[in-house]
Amino acid sequence: MRGTLPYALAVWLFAVGLYGVVTSRNFVHMIMCLSIVQAATYVLILQVGYVRGATAPIFFDVPVGTPAVDPVVQSLVLTDVVVGVVVGALLLSLALQAHKRTGTLDPNDLRTLVG
């Protein structure tokens, strides 16, 4: 159990974020919750590459051969974070336009589609 317990953090973040998305009454809040769901993936990906007692995979001041964590998962997360930010901006601009059209940010009030 001890060996897999940290992974439960990612599962918990994912579930909490989804709960927020489902029960959200405001688009801005919903976008925040979506970014928490995304944060769960960062946590899980980084955890998969973690090696106990190892250093970062940067050999500027430590010699090559020092135990280091997985650099591949770190580079996955690196690009993900930046893309996550701009996709968040894209969603926020959608929310802004929805508010302009309908005067509300509550998803429950947008049930009927207006052509």
Partner 1 sequence: MSPRVRLGMFVVGGIGLVAILLWGVGGLPRFGSAESRYATYLNTHAVHQRHATNVVSAVVFDYRGFDTLGEEFILFAAVMGVTLLLRSQREEHDDSPRDRAEARRTADTSDAVRVGTLALIGPVWLLGLYVVAHGQLTPGGGFQGGVVLAAAPLLLFLAGRYLLVRNVHPMHALDLAEGTGAGGFTVIALLGAVIGAAVMANFIGKGQVASVFSGGTLPVFNLLVGLEVVAGVTLVLYEFMEQTLFVRGD
CB 57 within 8 A of CB 70: yes
Minimal distance in Å, beta carbon 89 to partner 1? Answer: 5
Kindly list the residues in this chain that would bind partner 1 in the complex (CB under 8 A). Answer: 3-8, 10-11, 14-15, 18-19, 22-23, 44, 47-53, 56-60, 64-65, 68-72, 74-75, 78-79, 81-83, 85-87, 89-90, 92-94, 96-97, 100, 108
Handedness of CA 33, 35, 41, 45 (dihedral sign): negative
Non-local CB neighbours of 66 within 8 Å, separated by 6+ positions: 54, 55, 59
- Give the shortest CB-42-to-partner 1 separation in angstroms: 14
Quote the least distance from Cβ 26 to partner 1, whole Å: 13
DSSP 8-class letter at 113: P
